[in-house]
Structure 1
Amino acid sequence: MNDKRSLPVVPHTAASGAAGTSHDDDDVLSTLRRDGSRRWLMPHLATGGWWRKRRVVAYILMVVFVAVPHLRVAGKPLILMDIPARQFTIFGRTFLPTDTMLLALLMLSVMFGIVLITAIAGRAWCGWACPQTVYMEYLFRPIDRLFDGTTGRGGHAKKPLTGVKQVARVAVYVLLSMFLAHTFLAYFVGTERLSQWIQSSPIDHPAAFLVMAATTGLMLFDFLIFREQMCLIACPYGRFQSVMLDEQSLIVTYDPVRGEPRKKGKHRAEDNAGDCVDCNRCVVVCPTGIDIRDGLQMECINCTQCIDACDEVMDRVGSPRGLIRYGSQDGIAGKPRRRIRPRTIIYPLILTAVLSGFAYALSTKTTFDARVLRGKGAPFTTVARGRISNSFTIRLVNRTDEKQTYALQVAEPANVQLKVIDPTGLTLEPGGTSLVPVATEFSGSLTFGTGNQPATLEVTSSKDTSKTVQFNLLGPRQ
């Protein structure tokens, strides 16, 4: 066997011998022919150990995806991204537009979490947990097999579908797309509002009906027509892998040292024959139509179908399993696996720092903000009996998801009167902001000598939380 420890070149090509392909279609995207027409993929199914594990995970995730919008934490949705109301609820805690820093830290935490998982376990998200993969491979493709029958030679149905079966299959797709569309919308509008839309006439909620119809149409287009091209063309995650993976990252890979040169039939008896029998079984089961033997490719979603298919063939020919397996590029090249490396040190440190910042910001988050802004015009005016008046504007921000009313008073120094010019701004909707004009009145002797007097404004909310704000009273020096 050839002992050369090198990796193959990594072209992004269509696999020759794939379902519906020919050798003339080499060097073309796996879902395109040379003339630019669509190559429809109908992958075979390899029901090996990895497929069974993924099936368990997929069924659990389907339940989770549907249940999450209905779950409540402290009376609030577990997850709700209410874009019209400009507020996100995550794990029962509501984030408002005023919580920009918290949202930014949360998104950074998610991003670096994905980067860390990818650096360690490759595209585990794509192959195991992405809703596109879960629903496509464990809901819609089984429906295809139910109507088409077992996939025949070349990846096509053994018998062409009759008109009745075609209509029935599309009808099932429409029903499932409607269900998934409503589930998807529940993440953005909430289950209560969605229930009202469903029970009401489209005439009463034309905009809502159009949103639901458009979402259903997009779901149907995705799973009936676009299918694997969502991963190959639309989703940017595969293109990011070049900066998130290194030679030590865990990926689904073919072992060229053991498998090459490929031999089939009577040529298998040759001394230099590798373990690969060139059956193309790994190609016809691939849901994205690639040949894993071409090396690491953007189109590979680490679904492990090629592992199960190759293991079946290895069992038949009496060779050890693992010709295609989970491994790393360095591991296949004969280099030792290093679990501790720059990426696995730097990424966790960054993630820990971001999560710490998020936790600190969350723990110190106040229910409202208050600032004292000095009014325009003269710094102070003299009123009756030698008393002085200052004009201010109090800026209030309600950081809760409930309506709040605020009360203002000058806590220090004593005998300073506070008059609210327009009290309407003291009541705020969730996430609301207002500017409340006020005037203070005090004895002129309070500022004698320096011309100013430090003061403390106390703001109390209807939830009995209070905050103090420091400001200066201005007046005559003598």
Structure 2
Amino acid sequence: MARNERSFIDADDVGILDSPEAVLSTMNKEGDRRWLYPTPSKGFYYWWRLAVGWGLIALFVSLPWITINGKPAVLLDLMSREFTLFGTTFYPTDTLLLLGFALGTLVSIILISAIFGRIWCGWGCPQTVYLEFVYRPIERWLEGAEHVRARRDEGPLTFDKAWRKTAKWSVYAVISVALAHTFVSYFVGWERLLTWMQGDPRDHWGYFVMMAGTTALILFDFGFFREQMCTITCPYARFQSVLLDPHSLIVSYDEERGEPRGRGKERSELGDCIDCGACVRTCPTGIDIRDGLQMECVACTQCIDACDDIMDKMGWEPGLIKYTSEKALDGEKTNIVRPRTLLYSGVLLALTVFFVGLLWTRPTYDVNVARAVGEPFMVLPDDRVANRIRVRVRNQSATEARFTIGAEGIPDVQVNPVGPGETVLQPQEMRRTEAWIVVPPDVLERDRREVTVVLSFDDGTEKRIPFPMLSPHSSEAEDPEAINHEASPS
């Protein structure tokens, strides 16, 4: 068997497959899909990854159910334009806060990659976690070991093959439906989701279409597309040349120790690599780690566990494949603290201080005062001038709030609310209300005269917003003859 021909390697095969013509690890040289059947290597790193993976799955499922300050721990309500993260709700007006959070997340990814390499891909990415610890174990349970599945898939359709495939895809469908509902709950909340599930589908047909589409995408991804999401679609691998440097942690083969490789019993002229192919059989993206750092490597450490197991059986020291850096492989010292990481850490610290400072000084109430739609002003029968304002207030606290509207800055100014004199706001609620500001006729002789709108809250907070009054003397009065003298604010 030619080395590097890129095909499934049976447990009895010893050749390493990959031809010079190969472009992708999931593609044969003819251009068709190369199906992978990775054999799990249950070593030290595998069990740690399994614990971390299932911990992340439990966290993903539970976050929409956990409530903080009466809201889910995480709720990304796109329709209402509200993002709730662990008790704090962010709104479109929190532009700087959202920008700081986004930039902080981006810099954190860059910093972690510079130090630990692609540890996210192998340990925390949902694509890896669900594929390796949910979907593929189910496949092994229902269809058997990797070499059995490969030979069955290459053979004709039989009853045994049909029922196993049917059972597998049925279980996949159930799990995908559950994951789709959990995913959608991050955007609509479980309470609303449960209401939709129990209601008439005709009343919420959009939900059923969305859920069917989400389920289909999940099923396609984990049942068919699989590792190609990492090797073809995900852009993260393409950024490695920018994010990683010779000091970054990578999964690598110790070529100096392992070469020349060979299977002979006489080891005097051979390295420690016995060319068994275990590292290739276990790789979920189908690469040969001995060819060096590659775009398709997701740092899942399966090759480390596989090789350490072989080294243990041979009675040799483990670590022929290991977590290391290019500097360490060259016999030099790996430096975690270096100009790049210091720069990233400084930027991340500045963004953290910026975000925390903005969050700490974030006002309890977000207030906006604008001119109401309609006539810009109104002259009353007693010649007083009235301007109608629209007030929008969002209560950004976790307690109920009440406020009244007043005005000052002009002698004898009056405020006549449209509706109740006091407005009640529930926690995180936003409401709009209107009021008339009425002033005597002789105080607006200039083009504009500014009044200060005062919102007084029951906790002692006052919000003071300047508002320019308009009158027949204002340059903005487009048609003084069209002034409505009949309507009167009460």
Same fold (TM over 0.5): yes
Alpha-carbon separation, structure 1, partners of 2:197 and 2:431:
34
Question: Does residue 1:235 correspond to 2:234, yes or no?
Answer: yes
Tell me which amino acid in the other structure corresponds to 1:356. Answer: V
Q: Secondary structure at the match of 1:283?
A: helix
The 5 Å alignment of 1:16-415 reads 16=5, 19=8, 22-24=17-19, 26-152=21-147, 161-266=160-265, 268-271=266-269, 273-366=270-363, 367-371=365-369, 389=385, 391=387, 393=389, 396-398=392-394, 400=396, 407-412=404-409, 415=412
The one-character-per-residue Cα deviations of 1:250-272 (angstroms, maximum 9, x if unpaired) are 11111112222222225x5343x
Confirm or deny: 8 A CA contact 2:4 2:19 kept in the other structure.
no
**Offset, 1:122:** 1.1
Gaps of 5+ in 1: 1-13
Residues 310, 323 of structure 1: 8 Å contact kept? yes
1:460 partner amino acid: S
* Cα distance change on mapping 1:453 and 1:95 into 2, 3 Å: same
The percentage of aligned residue pairs carrying the same residue is 39
Letter in 2 for 1:231: C
Deviation per CA, 1:337-375: give whole Å up to 9, x if none: 112112211111111111222112222222122346799
Question: CA RMSD of the aligned region, Å?
Answer: 3.7
TM-score by length of 2: 0.81
Shift of 1:183: 1.2
Q: Distance in 2 between matches of 1:165 and 1:470?
A: 72
User: 3-state SS of the aligned residue for 2:64?
Assistant: helix
Superposed CA deviations along residues 87-142 of structure 1, whole A, max 9, x for unmatched, are 11110211122222222221222211121111111111111111111111111111
Relative distance call for 1:77 and 1:154 in structure 2 (3 A) is: closer
* 8 A Cα contact 1:373 1:393, kept in partner: yes
Q: 8 Å contact 1:394–1:438 — kept in the other structure?
A: no
Structure 1 residues 149 and 356, CA, compared in 2 at 3 Å: closer, same or farther? same
Change (3 A) 1:383 1:473: farther
Does the aligned pair in 2 maintain the 1:401–1:431 contact within 8 Å?
no
Asked whether the 8 Å contact 1:282–1:291 carries over to 2, the reply is: yes
Measured after TM superposition, the shift of residue 152 of structure 1 is 2.3
Higher RCO structure (Cα 8 Å, ≥6 apart)? 1
Q: Is the 8 A contact 2:110 2:344 kept in 1?
A: yes
* Alignment deviations for residues 171-190 of structure 1 (CA, whole Å, 9 cap, x no partner): 11111111111111111111
1:469 to 457, 460, 465: 465
The code of the aligned residue for 2:412 comes to N
Quote the offset at 1:418 in angstroms.
3.4
- Which AA in structure 2 matches 1:326? Y
Q: Distance in 2 between matches of 1:261 and 1:114?
A: 37
SS of equivalent residue, structure 2 residue 257: helix
Cα distance change on mapping 1:440 and 1:80 into 2, 3 Å: same
Aligned residues: 457
Alpha-carbon separation, structure 2, partners of 1:223 and 1:437: 57
Give the letter for the 2:8 counterpart. Answer: A
Give the Cα–Cα distance (whole angstroms) in 1 for the partners of residues 166 and 402 of structure 2. 59
- Conserved 8 A contact 1:18-1:154: no
Paired letter, 1:368? D
Return the TM-score normalized by structure 1: 0.83
SS at match of 2:32: coil
Unaligned regions of 5+ residues in structure 2, if any? 10-15, 474-490
2:434 maps to 1:458: no
